[in-house]
Structure 1
Amino acid sequence: MKEPGQYLAQVLKQRRQAKGWSLDQTSRNTGVSKAMLGQIERGESSPTVATLWKIATGFNAALSDFLEPPDIEDQGSVRQADELRHQPAVDQMLVATIFPYDAALGFEMFELTLMPGYTRSSEPHAPGVIEHVVLLRGEMELLIEGRWKLLLEGDAIRFAADRPHGYRNLGREPAVFHNLIHYPA
């Protein structure tokens, strides 16, 4: 399997070319600078998770499409978060793609780890995208409808992700949660 940055570089360039987009057009559609897109395609830059989201949203694609190849394993295969967890971007978030996006099911599922002090604002995803968050360990806050909501271990929440939202961990321990992201048909 390719390194995450190599895979991102390859898939970004392939998707851009498949759409017939120049770097300028890709920049307009994603809100990511032409210079940054070029650096990512050449494998010279590792973007933040927020930038990865902008790219995915600009392509009307799932985040996991840019993190790893589609899951070609048979159904019933066991996937271990400990084996999948990595830091796909320069910011302090660990990601394990539990279930990559599957168009037939309309969702992808991640285990995300926010390190202490980590805050990330997320721009709106495509219309109709809904996130489901279940906090496994630690505590964290979600920005929903302009207000931070505290989540404690075991809490679960569903929210419209087609609006600005955010994640933060003000605690002293990592916050680990599952995030199931549903994309409308």
Structure 2
Amino acid sequence: MKNPTYNIGSVLKRVRFERGLTLEETSNLTGVSKAMLGQIERGESNPTISVLWKISTGLRISFSELLGSESTDYEAVSIDDIEPVYESDGKMVLYDVFPFNPMLGFEYFYIKLLPGAEHVSTPHQSSVEEYIVVTEGTLKLTVDEQTFELTAPSALRFKPNKNHTYSNPYDTEVIFQNIIKY
């Protein structure tokens, strides 16, 4: 499997060049510094999920496209074979199981939150919806100022156009599925 840092850098550079954007213009669109964007393009930086969301939102591309994920007509997936993205000091582990497919309009993530994990996600485009299905443990999800405690098995649909925080303040691991519909 390809190095995800290299994939992210090459996709960012390709999109930027296709659109004729300078690093400064890309920085203005995404809110990510020119220096950080340059480091990402050169594969010298392993960006956090928050930085990846800023880039994908600012450039209006899917998160999975930024990861350089490819899709086929038929695919059996083992979570263990997917290169995870780590966030929240390694306490949030994200697997991009089914990358964005423009024909279907969604992407699917398998996410583990270890005890003590907390991840703040910046707002997505207003037309996006998220579907959360908790399959193990209890997920604490705060959307804007409303907090939900989702104990497995449970689910929640919401518009992620406001800050939202995924956390696990408990002593056991949380596993949830996250479907993002564009």
- Give the TM-score normalised by structure 2: 0.93
Q: 1:117 Cα deviation (Å)?
A: 1.1
Partner of 2:59: 59
Q: 1:85 Cα deviation (Å)?
A: 4.9
From 68, 77, 80, the counterpart of 2:78: 80
Which sits farther off after the overlay, 80-89 or 23-32? 80-89
1: distance between equivalents of 2:132 and 2:106? Answer: 13
Partner of 1:161: 160
Preserved CA contact (<8 Å) 1:135 1:153: yes
Please give the residue correspondences for 1:102-117 in structure 2 after superposition, counting only pairs within 5 Å: 102-117=101-116
Which sits farther off after the overlay, 171-180 or 23-32? 171-180
Point out where structure 2 has 5 or more consecutive residues left out of the alignment.
Answer: none
C-alpha spacing 1:70/1:88, structure 2 compared with 1 (3 Å): farther
Point out where structure 1 has 5 or more consecutive residues left out of the alignment.
Answer: none
SS at structure 2 position matched to 1:69: coil
Preserved CA contact (<8 Å) 2:130 2:157: yes
Partner of 1:26: 26
After superposition, what is the alpha-carbon deviation per residue over 1:63-89, rounded to whole angstroms, capped at 9, x for unaligned?
111223321x233x2112222251355
- Give the TM-score normalised by structure 1: 0.91
Tell whether 2:14 aligns with 1:14.
Answer: yes
Root mean square deviation of aligned Cα: 1.5
Preserved CA contact (<8 Å) 2:87 2:119: no
After superposition, what is the alpha-carbon deviation per residue over 1:77-122, rounded to whole angstroms, capped at 9, x for unaligned?
2112222251355742212212110111110001011222111111
Preserved CA contact (<8 Å) 1:84 1:96: yes
Preserved CA contact (<8 Å) 2:128 2:181: yes
1: distance between equivalents of 2:126 and 2:105? Answer: 14
Preserved CA contact (<8 Å) 2:48 2:87: yes
